[in-house]
């Protein structure tokens, strides 16, 4: 999964709405469920989770959530802007504040080892479920994904098809770089300069 991909999602609790964004929708829903149902979690008493428990008790399976948009190869600035746009569009009442990522980088750097270990463990425990959800998402949104990929290709066509001249004398496009590097001509060239 590309680390610059982005899913915008919506959680509905009765008539109230929460908007969020994530690179990994399955992991994010799991973290919402964990925060909502685990009293020891620091986010347990956030408005979103209190509202969910009021409506559904501890039964997260009744929570209505959906992906409302997805983007590929986005910057952090775009992520902030688009999430804020959807918060305002849906008049989200369960988001506690506007999007604010100030301090997140510092938090991550201070807790990096713990976060990475937790993510690995969680992924290994949920790999089959994650793969099945991804498969279902791709099946359900086949046309949408196809259109997004088509638009991305159109936008980046010049860069993809840019001609690059190698030291070995060959010319190739970015999308064929790996194939060129494995070619006999390039390998012979590398052996002469080493």
Sheet of 16-22: strand order equals: 16-22, 6-13, 64-71
Residues 54 and 145 in one domain: yes
Q: Is the pLDDT of residue 55 over 80?
A: yes
Residues 64 and 150 in one domain: yes
3-state helix, strand, coil in the chain (%, to 5): 60, 15, 25
pLDDT in tens, 134-191: 888 889 889 988 998 898 889 888 888 889 999 999 999 988 889 999 999 999 998 8
Q: What pTM was computed for the model?
A: 0.49
Residues 97 and 130 in one domain: yes
Q: For residue 25, give every residue at least 6 positions away whose Cβ sits within 8 Å of its Cβ, in sequence order, or none.
A: 7, 9, 67, 133, 137
pLDDT in tens, 100-142: 444 455 655 666 776 677 667 777 887 888 788 888 888 988 9
Q: How far apart are CA 93 and CA 85, in angstroms?
A: 14
Residues 150 and 167 in one domain: no
Residues 182 and 97 in one domain: no
Is residue 48 exposed (0-12), middle (13-18) or buried (19+ Cβ within 10 Å)? buried
Whether the CB-CB separation of 75 and 96 falls below 8 Å is answered with no
Residues 35 and 100 in one domain: yes
Q: Is the pLDDT of residue 7 over 60?
A: yes
Number of domains in the chain: 2
Residues 95 and 187 in one domain: no
Residues 118 and 89 in one domain: yes
**What range does the domain containing 187 cover?**
162-193
Residues 55 and 128 in one domain: yes
Residues 101 and 181 in one domain: no
Please calculate the CA angle 49-17-71 and round it to the nearest 5 degrees: 105
Residues 126 and 168 in one domain: no
1 domain-assigned: no
Residues 134 and 169 in one domain: no
């Amino acid at each position: 999964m590309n680390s610059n991909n982005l899913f915008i999602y919506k959680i509905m609790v009765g008539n109230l709405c929460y908007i969020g964004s994530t690179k990994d929708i399955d992991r994010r829903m799991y973290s919402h469920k964990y925060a909502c149902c685990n009293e020891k979690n620091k986010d347990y008493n956030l408005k979103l989770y209190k509202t969910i428990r009021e409506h559904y008790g501890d039964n997260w399976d009744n929570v209505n959530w959906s992906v409302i948009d997805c983007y590929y190869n986005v910057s952090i600035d775009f992520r902030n802007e688009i999430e804020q746009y959807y918060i305002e569009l849906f008049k989200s009442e369960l988001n506690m504040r506007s999007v604010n990522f100030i301090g997140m980088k510092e938090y991550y750097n201070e807790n990096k080892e713990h976060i990475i270990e937790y993510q690995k463990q969680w992924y290994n425990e949920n790999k089959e479920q994650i793969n099945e959800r991804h498969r279902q998402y791709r099946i359900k949104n086949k046309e949408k994904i196809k259109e997004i990929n088509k638009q991305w290709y159109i936008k980046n066509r010049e860069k993809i098809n840019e001609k690059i001249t190698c030291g070995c004398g060959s010319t190739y496009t970015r999308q064929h770089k790996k194939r060129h590097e494995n070619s006999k001509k390039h390998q012979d060239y590398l052996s002469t300069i080493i």
